[in-house]
């Protein structure tokens, strides 16, 4: 379980991607919450993007607000992190674009009137004005897939989890600012 990576309740969101022993793969904060609900509370897991799950993710993340993002340095995460980085650099979709092309090469410029961020996941879950609701990083990633005209993976897909892990690694040391507000 992920407990050994969490020094305290206050920094649990800053270390959200860890290896789940049961699944033998990294899990997101939402998956950790649902795993706890199912295994320890014997409760039904909440569906991805449900108001209940996002609210609890936001509450947990708020406890880490201001702390540095600190992805675990667990060697078991290395292959997942490497696949996440490869996915970040891989061209996809009908527009044949990679995440790196927008978020590295064109960060700070504008796309459709909105600034292109560097792609650091410091504020998730986030309230996005375009959604008029709270949403997860996976929702944003799936939106990017659609934006380049690629088939988005389903919520919880290992592709998205690996990409989240890599993005957290890129943001290591940056302050958690969740829940944040974005355009």
**Any idea which residues carry the catalytic annotation?**
144
β-partners of residue 27 are: 18
CA atoms of 89 and 68, how far apart (whole Å): 25
- How many helices and strands in the chain, by DSSP H and E? 6, 7
CA gap 97, 71 in Å, rounded: 27
CB 12 within 8 A of CB 63: yes
DSSP symbol at 67: S
Asked whether 165 and 68 are in contact (CB, 8 A), the reply is no
Pairing of strands 126-128, 133-135: antiparallel
The kind and range of the H/E element at 88 are helix 78-89
**Exposed/middle/buried for residue 71 (C-beta within 10 Å: 0-12, 13-18, 19+):** buried
Strand pairing partners for 126? 135, 180
């Amino acid at each position: 379980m992920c407990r050994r990576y969490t020094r305290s309740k206050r920094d649990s969101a800053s270390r959200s991607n860890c290896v789940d022993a049961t699944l033998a793969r990294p899990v997101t904060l939402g998956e950790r919450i649902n795993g706890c609900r199912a295994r320890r509370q014997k409760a039904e897991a909440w569906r991805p993007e449900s108001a209940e799950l996002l609210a609890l993710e936001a509450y947990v993340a708020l406890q880490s607000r201001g702390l540095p993002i600190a992805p675990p340095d667990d060697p078991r995460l290395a292959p997942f992190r490497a696949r996440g980085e490869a996915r970040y650099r891989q061209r996809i979709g009908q527009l044949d674009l990679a995440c790196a092309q927008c978020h590295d090469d064109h960060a700070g410029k504008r796309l459709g009137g909105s600034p292109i961020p560097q792609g650091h996941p410091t504020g998730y879950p986030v309230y996005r004005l375009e959604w008029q609701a709270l949403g997860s990083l996976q929702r944003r990633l799936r939106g990017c897939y659609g934006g380049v005209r690629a088939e988005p993976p389903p919520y919880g897909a290992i592709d998205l989890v690996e990409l989240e892990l890599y993005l957290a690694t890129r943001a290591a040391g940056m302050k958690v600012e969740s829940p944040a507000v974005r355009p």
